[in-house]
Structure 1
Amino acid sequence: MKYRGVVYDVGLRFVSDQPYSVEPFSHALAEHDMNTIATGLHANAVRIEGEEIQRLVTTARIANAAGLTVFFNPWKMNVPTRELPDYFAEAARAAEELRRDGVDIVFVCGCEITLFNDGILPGATLMERVAWLGSQAADATGPKVPAVFQEKSTMLHDALTAITAAVRAEFSGPVTYSSGTWENVDWSLFDVVGVDYYRNGETASEYVAGLDRFRIGKPLVVMEVGSCAYEGAAARGAGGFMLLEGQNPDGTGKFVNNIVPTRSEREQAEYVQEQLELLSGAEVDGVFIYVFSFPSYRFGEGARDLDMMSFSLVKTFPDGDPRSNQMPPWAPKAAFHRVADFFQR
């Protein structure tokens, strides 16, 4: 496995009128985290994702200093796909400067654009598009793809063609894309096949066999895999976060059917370890665990424990907890240690 990595978020806007998922951005914390990823997790790569290009550049330089290969992932959510080529061209210029300065860098031309951007799947928001996709999911990955998905694939192809043309005009290194399994991507546009490959209740053999359609003679990298940290999260895979419907004014979570899940770091750890072992046996070229930290969802007790609804390998302490003022303001979860052990081996 060439790339043993973790996803690192420097600030995304999942909802248009909400703050970034990382706010404020801290150079000191990014430096601490990159060194932890390199020496504590024993990773050799990091997928840095975020909207602000300068944050990406700053973190990429820190990661390079720590000896990590950088998968450089600009990500502007909730805008029409027609706006993306100009944004990616600007990011590609910055990435090319990094490459020329000696950073080992792969450019990621977006992530699950059908879900996170306007104009392909029905729905005005991410959650509306997720709901629509969930209602169609059985058909989306079946042997006979319905006409509606063939149409969506054409729209995605047009968007990715424009994006990759804009990126390659500015950036001379390898490029990839972080695709959803429902997306039919023309991989001739890319140097590396990248897929977000969660296990959602399949058997181990079904999970591994599902990779075969991505084996086309190019490097194959699993760009995301992971689990939330509560009982029952493993079977939900990528959809584990959907039990959380929002937050109350007092900071507690709004959970489906008003049932507060039971925290289980053990379930998250076992899921992550099993998927790493399966993917290693399947001889993929790289794996990125989603995600190192997710400070939007803080650790707490009972209904205040939003951390269990995140995929993070570390739990961030809430404001008011003295540990939130320390460096770092987080502590490793059980999955952190499983990943570190696997990467070290």
Structure 2
Amino acid sequence: MKYRGIVYDVGLRFTANNPYSVAHFDSELVSYDINTIATTLHANAVRIEGEEIERLLTASRIAHAAGLTIFFNPWKMNVPIADLPAYFAQAASAAEQLRGEGANIVFVCGCEITLFNDGILPGATLMERVAWLGSQAAAATGPKVPTVFQEKSAMLNDALTAITAAVRAEFSGLVTYSSGTWEDVDWRLFDVVGVDYYRNGETAREYVAGLDRFRIGKPLIVMEVGSCAYEGAAARGAGGFMLLEGQNPDGTGKFVNNIVPTRSEREQAEYVEEQLELLSGAEVDGVFIYVFSFPSYRFGEGARDLDMMSFSLVKTFPDGDPRSNQMPPWAPKAAFHRVADFFQR
């Protein structure tokens, strides 16, 4: 496994006009986090994702100084696909600047564009597109992309053709894409095959065998895998967050059927460790664990514990807790230690 990686979020807007997932970008904390990724977690790569290019640049320079390979992932959600080439061209120019500074950098031309951008899947919002995708789940099993997605994938590949042309005009390094398993990507456009590859209830054998359709003679990297931290989260895989429907004015979570899940860091840790073990024997070139931190969902008790609904390896303390003012304002979860042990081995 060439790349032992962690996903690091510097601020995404999952819902149009809402605050970033990282509301306050603190370069001191970013430096602490990334150096923790490089040293305590024993990673050699980091996938830095976010919308603001300046934030990506700052975090990438810190990662370069820490000796990490950077997967540079600009990500502008909830805009029409027609708007993406110009955005990626600007980001690619910044990434080429980093390459000129000596950074070892791979450019990521977006992530699950069918889901996170307007114009391909039905739905005006991310959650509407998630719901449509979920309604097709029965047809989305098996090793091949179902027929229902073929037309959608053709639209995606038209978008990716325009995006990669814009990126390659500015950036001279390796280029990849972070695909959903329902997307049938034209990998001729890319140097590296990248797939977000969560296990959603399949057997271990089925999970590993599902990678075969991505083996086309190019490097193959699992760009995301991870789990939420509550009982039952492992079987839900990538959809673990969907039990949280929103937040009440008092900060408590709104959960499906008004049932508050039971926190289980052990379940998250065992899922992550098992997938790492399986993937290490599956001849992939790299794995990125999603995600280091997710400060929008803070640690708490009972219905206030939104952290258990995130995929983060650390739990961020809420405002008002004295630990929220320390450096760092988080503590490792059980999965953090499993990842560190695995990467060190």
- TMscore range, shorter length: over 0.9
- Equivalent pairs: percent with the same residue? 88
* Number of equivalent positions: 345
Q: Is the 8 A contact 2:11 2:51 kept in 1?
A: yes
Aligned to 1:180: 180
Q: Is the 8 A contact 2:244 2:254 kept in 1?
A: yes
Q: What letter is aligned with 1:8?
A: Y
What root-mean-square deviation, in Å, do the aligned CA atoms of Structure 1 and Structure 2 show? 0.9
Alpha-carbon distance in structure 1 between the residues aligned to 2:146 and 2:308? 36
Once the two structures are TM-superposed, the CA of residue 148 in structure 1 deviates from its matched residue by 3.7
Q: What letter is aligned with 1:109?
A: C
Q: Is the 8 A contact 1:4 1:43 kept in 2?
A: yes
Aligned to 1:208: 208
- Residues 320-339 of structure 1: pairs in structure 2 closer than 5 A: 320-339=320-339
Once the two structures are TM-superposed, the CA of residue 153 in structure 1 deviates from its matched residue by 1.0
Q: Structure 2 unaligned runs (5+)? A: none
Once the two structures are TM-superposed, the CA of residue 45 in structure 1 deviates from its matched residue by 0.3
Aligned to 2:303: 303
Alpha-carbon distance in structure 2 between the residues aligned to 1:169 and 1:91? 12
For residues 220 and 327 of structure 1, do their structure 2 counterparts lie closer, same or farther at Cα, with a shift above 3 Å needed? same
Once the two structures are TM-superposed, the CA of residue 137 in structure 1 deviates from its matched residue by 2.1
Q: What letter is aligned with 2:81?
A: T
For residues 47 and 56 of structure 1, do their structure 2 counterparts lie closer, same or farther at Cα, with a shift above 3 Å needed? same
- Secondary structure of 1:124's aligned partner: coil
Matching of residue 50 in structure 1 with residue 50 in structure 2? yes
Aligned to 2:152: 152
Q: What letter is aligned with 1:240?
A: G
Aligned to 2:267: 267
Once the two structures are superposed, residues 109-132 of structure 1 have per-residue CA deviations (whole angstroms, 9 ceiling, x without a partner) of 000000000000000000000000
Q: Is the 8 A contact 1:294 1:310 kept in 2?
A: yes
Aligned to 2:130: 130
- Residues 66-215 of structure 1: pairs in structure 2 closer than 5 A: 66-142=66-142, 147-215=147-215
Q: What letter is aligned with 2:97?
A: E
Alpha-carbon distance in structure 2 between the residues aligned to 1:230 and 1:189? 39
Once the two structures are superposed, residues 181-223 of structure 1 have per-residue CA deviations (whole angstroms, 9 ceiling, x without a partner) of 0000000000000000000000000000000000000000000
Once the two structures are TM-superposed, the CA of residue 147 in structure 1 deviates from its matched residue by 4.7
Alpha-carbon distance in structure 2 between the residues aligned to 1:122 and 1:9? 27
Q: Is the 8 A contact 1:141 1:181 kept in 2?
A: no
Q: What letter is aligned with 1:153?
A: S
Alpha-carbon distance in structure 2 between the residues aligned to 1:78 and 1:59? 23
Once the two structures are TM-superposed, the CA of residue 100 in structure 1 deviates from its matched residue by 1.0
For residues 88 and 190 of structure 1, do their structure 2 counterparts lie closer, same or farther at Cα, with a shift above 3 Å needed? same
Alpha-carbon distance in structure 2 between the residues aligned to 1:163 and 1:148? 24
Q: What letter is aligned with 1:276?
A: L
- Secondary structure of 2:136's aligned partner: helix
Once the two structures are TM-superposed, the CA of residue 138 in structure 1 deviates from its matched residue by 2.3
- Secondary structure of 1:221's aligned partner: strand
For residues 246 and 284 of structure 1, do their structure 2 counterparts lie closer, same or farther at Cα, with a shift above 3 Å needed? same
Alpha-carbon distance in structure 2 between the residues aligned to 1:169 and 1:89? 8
Alpha-carbon distance in structure 2 between the residues aligned to 1:295 and 1:45? 21
For residues 287 and 146 of structure 1, do their structure 2 counterparts lie closer, same or farther at Cα, with a shift above 3 Å needed? closer
* TM-score, structure 1 as length reference: 0.99
Once the two structures are TM-superposed, the CA of residue 234 in structure 1 deviates from its matched residue by 0.2
- Secondary structure of 1:97's aligned partner: helix
Q: Is the 8 A contact 2:142 2:210 kept in 1?
A: no
* TM-score, structure 2 as length reference: 0.99
Alpha-carbon distance in structure 1 between the residues aligned to 2:154 and 2:141? 16
Q: Structure 1 unaligned runs (5+)? A: none
Once the two structures are TM-superposed, the CA of residue 145 in structure 1 deviates from its matched residue by 5.3
Alpha-carbon distance in structure 1 between the residues aligned to 2:146 and 2:268? 34
Alpha-carbon distance in structure 2 between the residues aligned to 1:243 and 1:140? 21
- Secondary structure of 1:20's aligned partner: coil
Q: Is the 8 A contact 1:141 1:182 kept in 2?
A: no
Alpha-carbon distance in structure 1 between the residues aligned to 2:192 and 2:138? 27
Alpha-carbon distance in structure 2 between the residues aligned to 1:13 and 1:77? 7
Once the two structures are TM-superposed, the CA of residue 144 in structure 1 deviates from its matched residue by 7.1
Once the two structures are superposed, residues 43-80 of structure 1 have per-residue CA deviations (whole angstroms, 9 ceiling, x without a partner) of 00000000000000000000000010000000000000
Once the two structures are superposed, residues 158-198 of structure 1 have per-residue CA deviations (whole angstroms, 9 ceiling, x without a partner) of 00000000000000000000000000000000000000000
Alpha-carbon distance in structure 2 between the residues aligned to 1:296 and 1:327? 17
Structure 1: 4+ residue segments shifted above 3 A? 140-148
Once the two structures are TM-superposed, the CA of residue 143 in structure 1 deviates from its matched residue by 6.5
Aligned to 2:41: 41
